[in-house]
């Protein structure tokens, strides 16, 4: 029985991770054929770095992730503080409104944002993609900051006012320090989601402004080049590291 259990677990992990392992292995394959191992090489990684297209996409991906996570962290934190201060009924309404976008399929969010940009006659490109990323990131920040606010003694803010602090001073010196762990987790989550996103980016940008995932997609349609293996392997590893960091933070705080 015990061996059966182990075999079952091994099988599941195999199915989950073999494709990624193969991808990473292939990215180090010296030959162009995927059927044959022709020796270990960094050839595709070198080509990757030398390709201006890919470097441009990397630049777009990273800058959008940084800007979007930064702005959505500010917006999300403010929203969380506001929602926390509401009385019960409007609070649960606002929470539902803020949670629904997270449960919506990406494709629906993507298409509706695209339609909105067309309707408002905004040229799709870097800016619209940034707006889209801020939009889908913000609820996640709200969700990671709110529990920290709930943990606070509900009189902490009043105590600060009582001691002479203006509301702004109390926000900076009492509320923000108390919820800082939630803010950082939210920012990291937003950054990861932004790096990771394909569907929504695909619908809200133009073919001239590609991030890594949309670039991989359009290259893959022309036939998969080994550089894409290398690129995918890099993305996988960097996202893995980020996710591990976030998981460790949440495990520590709970």
Partner 1 sequence: MQEQQKLITLENISKEYDGTVVLEDINLYVRKNEFLTLLGPSGCGKTTTLRIIGGFEKPTTGSVIFDGQDITDLPPYKRRVNTVFQKYALFPHLNVFENIAFGLKVSKRSKEEINERVAQMLDLVNLKEYGKRRVDSLSGGQQQRIAIARALVNEPEVLLLDEPLGALDLKLRKGMQLELKRMQQRLGITFIFVTHDQEEALTMSDTIVVMKDGRIAQIGPPKHIYDEPKSAFIANFIGESNIIRGRMIKDELVNFCGTNFTCVDFGFAKDAQVDVLIRPEDIVIVGEDVGQLVGTVKSVLFKGVHYEMIIDAGGFSWKVHSTSMQPEGSQVGLSIVPFNIHIMKPMEEEELDE
| Residue 92 interacts with partner 1 (CB under 8 A): yes or no | no
| Residue 177 interacts with partner 1 (CB under 8 A): yes or no | yes
Residue among 66 and 178 whose Cβ is closer to partner 1: 178
Query: How many residues form the binding site for partner 1 (CB under 8 A)?
Result: 17
Q: How far apart are the first and last CA of the chain?
A: 35
CA distance linking residue 148 with residue 175, whole number of Å: 10
Torsions phi, psi for 86 (to 5 deg): -75, 160
| Residue 165 interacts with partner 1 (CB under 8 A): yes or no | yes
CA distance linking residue 79 with residue 74, whole number of Å: 9
CB of 112 to partner 1, least distance (A): 37
| Residue 155 interacts with partner 1 (CB under 8 A): yes or no | yes
Which residues, numbered 14-73, are part of the site for partner 1 (CB under 8 A)? none
The burial of 252, by beta-carbon neighbours within 10 Å (0-12 exposed, 13-18 middle, 19 or more buried), is given as: exposed
Among 158, 218, 250, 253, binds partner 1 (CB under 8 A): 158
The answer to whether 20 touches 236, Cβ cutoff 8 Å, is yes
| Residue 161 interacts with partner 1 (CB under 8 A): yes or no | yes
CA neighbor of 46 nearest in space, from 66, 65, 27: 27
CA distance linking residue 23 with residue 220, whole number of Å: 14
The answer to whether 214 touches 198, Cβ cutoff 8 Å, is yes
For partner 1, which stretch binds (CB under 8 A), given 30-38, 162-170, 184-192, 196-204? 162-170
| Residue 86 interacts with partner 1 (CB under 8 A): yes or no | no
Torsions phi, psi for 29 (to 5 deg): -75, 125
| Residue 163 interacts with partner 1 (CB under 8 A): yes or no | yes
Among 156, 218, 247, 253, binds partner 1 (CB under 8 A): 156
CB of 90 to partner 1, least distance (A): 12
For partner 1, which stretch binds (CB under 8 A), given 55-63, 76-84, 127-135, 155-163? 155-163
Q: Enumerate binding residues for partner 1 (CB under 8 A).
A: 153, 155-156, 158-166, 169, 173-174, 177-178
């Amino acid at each position: 029985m015990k061996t059966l259990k182990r075999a079952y677990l091994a099988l599941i992990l195999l199915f989950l991770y073999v494709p990624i392992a193969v991808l990473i292995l292939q990215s180090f394959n010296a030959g162009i054929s995927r059927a044959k191992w022709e020796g270990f090489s960094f050839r595709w990684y070198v080509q990757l770095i030398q390709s201006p297209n890919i470097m441009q996409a990397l630049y777009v991906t990273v800058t959008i992730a940084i800007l979007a996570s930064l702005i959505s962290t500010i917006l999300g934190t403010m929203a969380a503080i506001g929602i926390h201060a509401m009385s019960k009924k409007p609070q649960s309404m606002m929470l539902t409104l803020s949670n629904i976008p997270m449960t919506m399929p990406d494709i629906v969010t993507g298409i509706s944002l695209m339609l909105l940009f067309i309707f408002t006659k905004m040229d799709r490109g870097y800016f619209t993609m940034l707006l889209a990323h801020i939009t889908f990131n913000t609820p996640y920040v709200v969700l990671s900051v709110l529990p920290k606010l709930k943990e606070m003694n509900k009189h902490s803010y009043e105590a600060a006012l009582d001691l002479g602090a203006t509301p702004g001073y109390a926000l900076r010196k009492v509320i923000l320090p108390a919820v800082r762990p939630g803010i950082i987790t939210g920012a990291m989550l937003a950054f990861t989601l932004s790096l990771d996103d394909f569907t929504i980016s695909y619908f809200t940008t133009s073919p001239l402004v590609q991030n890594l995932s949309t670039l991989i997609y359009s290259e893959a349609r022309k036939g998969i080049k080994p550089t894409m293996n290398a690129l995918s392997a890099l993305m996988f590893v960097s996202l893995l590291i980020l996710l591990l960091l976030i998981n460790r933070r949440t495990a520590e705080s709970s």
